[in-house]
Chain A
Amino acid sequence: MDWKIDNDICIKCGGCVSVCPFGALELKDNVLLNEELCNLCGICEKACPVSAIEVEK
């Protein structure tokens, strides 16, 4: 399981939270991942407007 976010690049817009099909992400001060719900589908990686997320299956 490998889901990474670069918090220096992330602009905290919450776009990834909007698109996650599993409700696995939440935006607090940073974007937080609920590993139990994450399916590593990679939609958040694609949707991020600044490419701050990296997902490896």
Chain B
Amino acid sequence: MIDVIIIGAGPAGSSCAKRLAENGFSVKIYDRREELGVPVRCGEGLSETTEKLIGKIPDNCISQRTKGARVYAPNGKYLEAVLEYGGFVLNRRVFDKWLAEQAVKVGAEIQKNTLITDFIKEDGYYKGVKGEGFEEKAKMIVCATGAESALRKALNIFSKLNLIDSCLQYKMSGIDIDSDFIHIYVGNEIAPRGYIWVFPKGKDKANVGAGIIPGKRNAKYYLDKFVNDHQELKKGKIDLVEGGCVPVGGLLENMVDNGLLICGEAAHHVNPIHGGGIKEAIISGQLAADVIIECLKKGDVSKKALSKFNDLWWERRGKHLKRVEKLREVIEKLSDKDLNDLAEALRPEDIIEFSRGAKLSVLAKALMRKPSLIKLAKHLL
């Protein structure tokens, strides 16, 4: 019997598999897709700091290197945040394959084109997986399916999800943008409780997307409106339509059961303010592996033993993401006028600090610079 079965060869599953295999454990990843990384359900933006986790990302995984981000207030004024090391817009089609290869190189096995439909459960323990016409057992199961898997009902995770971003993205070409930056547009008319992104992928190409909290109108309405209102985009062509819903609220206290651990977007490990999940998935996959290694060495994969993952994840990421959730709540309440004022009050270095996870008090201090925002600042303290 192999040691660990992982369901899903995305960033969480592959990162987890690599670390397990490196440490001498036998790992098999099942993925439902014919081709890893396809279809893309992602804006593909990533900060440079991710390389600290997975090593240097090869050039062919990167569609565009950027200097940083421009965040546009409703009145069109923007704040430019230049990052020390810059950032990437990935090519997920290549990146996901590369990440999986890293795991295969150290001994993990991947079986594609295989949909896992259920678990094998015996004596209160998860003991394996079931697919069409086959079953396989392992000492331990990792669910890294992303959010769009019905398998997650095993842990009753659905009931914890309390906020989602509904997203639509056009892969556009023939457009005219400043490809040195990723571009973020906020405003209640532009994308209620969310934002529009333009992430460059070369000189005249970009991922142009809208992510909103579902309300009266759908993401397509806001995205089409935005593209129509911007000549530099309107003149281009939509090559591909992508979409998805991102779990941006509902962090889980518990992510384990006897013989089962859930990580990555499947466990809502997503940054609640921008919906980015690649880096969170990698961290959570690696942490999962660390805990599983320890548990397998002791021969104890009980819920109690695996719950160390809950402790570690909350210490390393959960606390921070909780703060980001609070920040999101405050920002969501802002009117367009507030947002315009905020853009004036903030300095570029503030934005960089927030993206790194600065304390809310830092934001509060920035808000204090603008009299109209003092009330808001008080909410944060």
A residues neighboring B (CB under 8 Å): 11-28, 46-51
Min CB–CB distance A5 → chain B (angstroms): 14
Stretch of B199-207, B226-234, B236-244, B319-327 at the chain-chain interface: B236-244
B residues 237-262 near A (Cβ < 8 Å) are 241-247
Q: How far is the CA of A46 from the CA of B218 in the complex (A)?
A: 8
Query: Across the two chains, which residue of chain A brings its CB closest to B222?
Result: A49
CB neighbours of A14 from chain B (8 A) = 41, 148, 244-245
16 extra A-B contacts, CB within 8 A, seeds A13-B148, A14-B245, A15-B167: A13-B41, A13-B244, A13-B245, A14-B244, A17-B148, A17-B149, A18-B146, A18-B247, A20-B150, A20-B158, A21-B158, A23-B150, A27-B148, A49-B166, A49-B168, A49-B218
Known: A19-B164, A47-B164, A49-B219. A13 touches B243 (CB 8 A): yes
Q: Is the CB of B214 within 8 A of A47?
A: yes
B residues neighboring A (CB under 8 Å): 39, 41, 115, 146-150, 152-153, 158-159, 161, 164, 166-168, 210, 214-215, 218-220, 241-247
Q: How far is the CA of A26 from the CA of B244 in the complex (A)?
A: 14
Q: How far is the CA of A52 from the CA of B146 in the complex (A)?
A: 22
**Chain A interface helix/strand/loop/mixed:** loop
Q: How far is the CA of A16 from the CA of B243 in the complex (A)?
A: 10
Q: Is the CB of B166 within 8 A of A15?
A: yes
Q: Is the CB of B218 within 8 A of A48?
A: yes
Q: How far is the CA of A14 from the CA of B265 in the complex (A)?
A: 13
Known: A11-B243, A15-B245, A49-B218. A23 touches B164 (CB 8 A): no
Q: Is the CB of A13 within 8 A of B242?
A: yes
- Max chain A C-beta neighbours (<10 A), residue from B39, B158, B220, B245: B245
Sample of 22 A–B contacts (CB below 8 Å): A11-B168, A11-B241, A11-B242, A13-B41, A13-B148, A13-B242, A13-B243, A14-B41, A15-B166, A15-B243, A15-B244, A15-B245, A18-B247, A21-B159, A22-B153, A23-B152, A28-B115, A47-B214, A49-B167, A49-B168, A50-B220, A51-B220
CB neighbours of A21 from chain B (8 A) = 158-159, 161
Q: Is the CB of A15 within 8 A of B148?
A: yes
Interface pairs A-B: 7 shortest CB-CB: A14-B148, A23-B153, A13-B243, A15-B245, A18-B147, A49-B219, A49-B168
Q: Is the CB of A23 within 8 A of B167?
A: no
- Max chain A C-beta neighbours (<10 A), residue from B147, B159, B166: B166
Contact residue among A16, A22, A24, A26 (Cβ-Cβ distance under 8 Å from B245) = A16
- Max chain B C-beta neighbours (<10 A), residue from A22, A25, A49: A49
Q: Is the CB of A51 within 8 A of B218?
A: yes
Query: Across the two chains, which residue of chain B brings its CB closest to A32?
Result: B150
Query: Across the two chains, which residue of chain B brings its CB closest to A15?
Result: B245
Q: Is the CB of B243 within 8 A of A49?
A: yes
CB neighbours of B159 from chain A (8 A) = 21
Q: How far is the CA of A22 from the CA of B153 in the complex (A)?
A: 7
Min CB–CB distance A27 → chain B (angstroms): 6
Query: Across the two chains, which residue of chain B brings its CB closest to A18?
Result: B147
CB neighbours of B166 from chain A (8 A) = 15, 46-49
Q: Is the CB of B218 within 8 A of A50?
A: yes
Query: Across the two chains, which residue of chain B brings its CB closest to A10?
Result: B243
Min CB–CB distance A57 → chain B (angstroms): 17
Min CB–CB distance A53 → chain B (angstroms): 10
Min CB–CB distance B217 → chain A (angstroms): 9
Min CB–CB distance B163 → chain A (angstroms): 10
CB neighbours of B219 from chain A (8 A) = 49-50
Q: How far is the CA of A6 from the CA of B152 in the complex (A)?
A: 25
Query: Across the two chains, which residue of chain A brings its CB closest to B246?
Result: A18
Min CB–CB distance B160 → chain A (angstroms): 9
Known: A13-B41, A48-B166, A49-B218. A19 touches B150 (CB 8 A): no
Q: Is the CB of A17 within 8 A of B168?
A: no
CB neighbours of B210 from chain A (8 A) = 49
Min CB–CB distance A33 → chain B (angstroms): 11
